[in-house]
A and B are shown apart, each in its own frame.
Chain A
């Protein structure tokens, strides 16, 4: 627990290649957002990973896990459903390691994601945006079952996803802080919450509260035919969570702006939602550290105008799959 002062560390480390450089992200205190002096809020800047998101850890973990099991060899096509970030992370790693990549992604994500995926050489199959990420999962499972040449890491059901955090993110947090009163992250696949949550709970016991911030998708993205088309990622164990709080798109964007305006943190929309929940939890505490995950940076959202335009002028606020 007695880590050397950050200022004495050599620029975040030295690595053999870009894949090795994933992780070891900064933990930054947000003094201006803290509601009271005894409660310190810390942002784990996963946006500082090589492709700008926490999913670099997950993609590396899933690919290295498949390699270690002999499930894939260079040249084999990887197929994955994604709302963007995992696809971009896989695209970088697959490009570097020599795996062709096909991603299935909803057609209502921000256009930067398409550019980034093409930049790294990935092929994109679009799923119906009205079905949100559910539609991408459904289509990818169909494609994978129809063609055995594909290898699908399947982040929603792959234990290598939470293990990336169990062995990585959480260890880094515990290296910097001896006490954590609350850990807040976004709920998507569940990997960030499950992996960090398990490690923090094992180390700190019930003293740490594990809190999920989840998106309240706009109605145009709730295009289910019936509730039986719902989806719960297999890796999620709700018993690990102490709280699960939804955040609307408008609140998420408002807080994304707050992160930028008050703390200088240029983050994506999910991070605004997570920050909102983190500040609320901080307000309920008398003292302690609240750690939250900044899941990605803001570059992929620039075309939407969320950083510069008033909220009421944001187009397709409810029909965009923001996170």
Chain B
């Protein structure tokens, strides 16, 4: 099982939890398990085309999966997935 860290903006959809566990061998599978357990997250995490919402960043550990293998990025047992909103920031 992977641990999924939930950002404040999504917590209402997971019963207020800061983190949940979900099974899966890659990011797509873990997020599918998350959506199955908490259907309210589906429209926030994914667009109508099934792709990750452009304003959602998903990290395995601390690395953004978009510049790795996207939803196919491997997730190991005990890995931590972090979901963060895409925000402006950084020395601007």
Contact of A238 among B10, B59, B66 (CB under 8 A): B66
Contact of B91 among A222, A227, A243, A323 (CB under 8 A): A323
Which interface class (under 10, 10 to 19, 20 to 34, 35 or more) fits A?
Answer: 35 or more
Residue in B closest to A46 when the chains form the complex, CB atoms: B91
Chain A residues in 8 Å Cβ range of B9:
222, 224-227
Residue in B closest to A225 when the chains form the complex, CB atoms: B9
Chain B residues in 8 Å Cβ range of A81:
92
Residue in A closest to B68 when the chains form the complex, CB atoms: A243
Q: Kindly state whether residue A76 has any CB partner on chain B within 8 Å.
A: no
Contacts A224-B9, A238-B67; A217 near B89 (Cβ below 8 A): yes
Contact of A323 with B89 in the complex, beta carbons under 8 Å: yes
Contact of A156 with B44 in the complex, beta carbons under 8 Å: no
- The count of A-to-B residue pairs whose CB atoms sit within 8 angstroms is 117
Contact of A133 with B8 in the complex, beta carbons under 8 Å: no
Q: Kindly state whether residue B37 has any CB partner on chain A within 8 Å.
A: no
Chain A residues in 8 Å Cβ range of B8:
219, 222-224
Chain B residues in 8 Å Cβ range of A82:
92
Contacts A242-B67, A246-B62; A227 near B90 (Cβ below 8 A): no
List residues of A (1-41) whose CB comes within 8 Å of B's CBs: none
Q: Kindly state whether residue B56 has any CB partner on chain A within 8 Å.
A: yes
Q: Kindly state whether residue A214 has any CB partner on chain B within 8 Å.
A: yes
Contact of A83 with B64 in the complex, beta carbons under 8 Å: no
Contact of B85 with A214 in the complex, beta carbons under 8 Å: no
Could you mark each residue 64-76 of chain B with 1 if its beta carbon is under 8 Å from any beta carbon of chain A, else 0?
Answer: 1011000000000
Chain A nearest CB: distance from B62 CB in Å?
5
Q: Kindly state whether residue B53 has any CB partner on chain A within 8 Å.
A: yes
Q: Kindly state whether residue A244 has any CB partner on chain B within 8 Å.
A: yes
List residues of A (162-177) whose CB comes within 8 Å of B's CBs: none
Contact of A246 with B88 in the complex, beta carbons under 8 Å: no
Contact of A232 with B86 in the complex, beta carbons under 8 Å: yes
Interface centre among B7, B63, B82, B85 (most CB of A within 10 A): B85
Chain A residues in 8 Å Cβ range of B91:
53-55, 83, 85, 186, 188, 268, 270, 295-296, 323
Contact of B67 with A222 in the complex, beta carbons under 8 Å: no
Contact of B92 with A156 in the complex, beta carbons under 8 Å: yes
Contact of B67 with A133 in the complex, beta carbons under 8 Å: no
Interface centre among A86, A133, A230 (most CB of B within 10 A): A230
Interface centre among B44, B82, B85, B88 (most CB of A within 10 A): B88
* Cα distance, A233 to B44, chains bound together (Å): 20
* Cα distance, A136 to B63, chains bound together (Å): 27
Chain A residues in 8 Å Cβ range of B87:
132-134, 217, 222, 224, 230-231
Which A residues have a C-beta under 8 Å from some C-beta of B?
A: 53-55, 81-83, 85-86, 132-134, 136-137, 155-156, 186-189, 212, 214-217, 219, 222-233, 238, 241-247, 268, 270, 295-296, 321, 323
Which B residues have a C-beta under 8 Å from some C-beta of A?
A: 7-10, 44, 53-56, 59, 62-64, 66-67, 82, 84-92
**For the complex of A and B, 9 pairs with smallest distance between CB atoms:** A188-B90, A230-B55, A133-B88, A244-B64, A230-B86, A188-B92, A188-B91, A231-B88, A224-B9
Question: Could you write out 12 A-B pairs with CB less than 8 Å apart?
Answer: A83-B90, A156-B92, A188-B89, A216-B82, A222-B8, A224-B87, A226-B9, A238-B66, A238-B67, A241-B67, A244-B63, A247-B62
